Amino acid sequence: MLAVLSPGQGSQKPGFLTPWLDLPGAEARLRWWSALAGIDLVRLGTEGDADEIKDTARTQPLLVAAALLAAEHLPMYDVTVTAGHSVGELAAAALAGVLPPETAITLAGVRGREMAAACALEPTGMSAILGGDRDEVLAAIEAHGLHPANFNGAGQIVVAGALDRLAKLAAEPPAGSRLISVKVAGAFHTPYMAPAEQALGAVAAGIVPTDPTRILLSNFDGAAVNHGREMLQRLVRQVTAPVRWDLCIRNLADLGVTAVIELPPAGTLAGLIKRELKGSGALPEIVTLNTPDDLAAARDLIARHGAPAGHEPTMQFRVVVAANAGTFAPAEELTEGDMINSGQIIGHVNTRQGAVEVAAHGSGVLTEWLAHHDDPVAPGQPLARIGGQLS
């Protein structure tokens, strides 16, 4: 089984689109998409310097365009799974058939502009926390009034929030960890992006998505999403919700993915997968697709590991996560193996402000409790795994 992955912001490099313009029709395609995105993708992808292409308003449509352009030169009909990191989810949704490429590019332009505008409202930023005990790291994030923005796996959590609070955390890092400042404009995937989420939602409300034709994993909880409308809602919600790339990696392994192609600009996601799955026996064969010279290796990988997605039922796992910090209390009457209905309350998170209900967002079997009675939990922490079928 083969997965194609689309990277997110921070993976871009100056000139990374230059070799792709040698392919027939590539420049014309990018000029059409430039009109939709409201920026010159050709110039930015070939001549833009590092500072120019890290501008959120420019970076996001540039990355989505690069992924879609490269994927047009692959036999995608033999690809079973797609996923993307952060803005890369828009490219993944297009590759899964949920959105036309033109819609994904347009949404990336809106998303980038609106997130850049939200970043300008107050000084915020992001830092990667490497190492340390997970529970201690999450407790330190909460204690400093910050937000976990990306759970990237391999012992890496990206924290976001006010710059002064990030500086205090850097001065007092959790034991065994180190912080690296991330060069972005603000606190992505946190409540600071609420104006951007609202603006993107207003545009997305006019879109009519279709259901995916292959397995499409969501950053929200790593689950495979079977309905286009649900995926579109998740794409909007993800602007303020943490990226659970760790759960996406886990589900790639659970699904039995044996090979991965990372679309350009490639390398970041491949590195995370290698570090997270090293020694697990589930490490897939990986091709990083950065230039047209890599297409032959990518096509060979698809030929050896790919299979038509088809419409046979496939096991789906949904992970229910905590929305608040507190202690978890599972519903007493529920045990592993019980059937769960969409919207059913499976427990509570007891916070300082009171109990917050935790509801399942899909039907299926309660396959595993991931948190137990009185366990301390943080926002975005998995609480239960629910299994069902994609049909």
Q: Under DSSP, is residue 36 helix (H, G, I), strand (E, B) or coil?
A: helix
| Strand ranges (E), 79-231 | 81-84, 124-131, 147-153, 156-162, 177-182, 215-216
Does the annotation count 86 as an active-site position? yes
What does the block give as tokens for 369?
Answer: 């409790």
Cβ atoms < 10 Å from Cβ of 386: 25
| Residue 242 in tokens | 């943490």
Pairing of strands 375-377, 326-330: antiparallel
Question: What is the distance between the alpha carbons of residues 251 and 317, in angstroms, rounded to a whole number?
Answer: 8
Catalytic pick among 6, 86, 127, 218: 86
Cα–Cα distance measured from residue 205 to residue 117, given in angstroms and rounded to the nearest whole number: 20
Q: How far is residue 98's CA from residue 126's CA, in Å, rounded to a whole number?
A: 30
What DSSP string runs through 49-72? -HHHHTSHHHHHHHHHHHHHHHHT
- Tokens matching residue 326: 């507190």
**CB contact burial 313-334 (16+ within 10 A = b; e otherwise):** ebebbbbbbbbbbbebbbbeeb
Report whether 186 contacts 115 (CB < 8 A): yes
Name the catalytic one among 85, 144, 147, 189: 189
3-class secondary structure, 347: strand
Cβ within 8 Å of residue 16, ≥6 positions away: 45, 66, 264, 265, 290
Amino acid identity, residue 137? V
Q: What's the rounded Cα separation, in Å, for the pair 67 and 56?
A: 17
- Catalytic residues, by residue number, are 86, 189
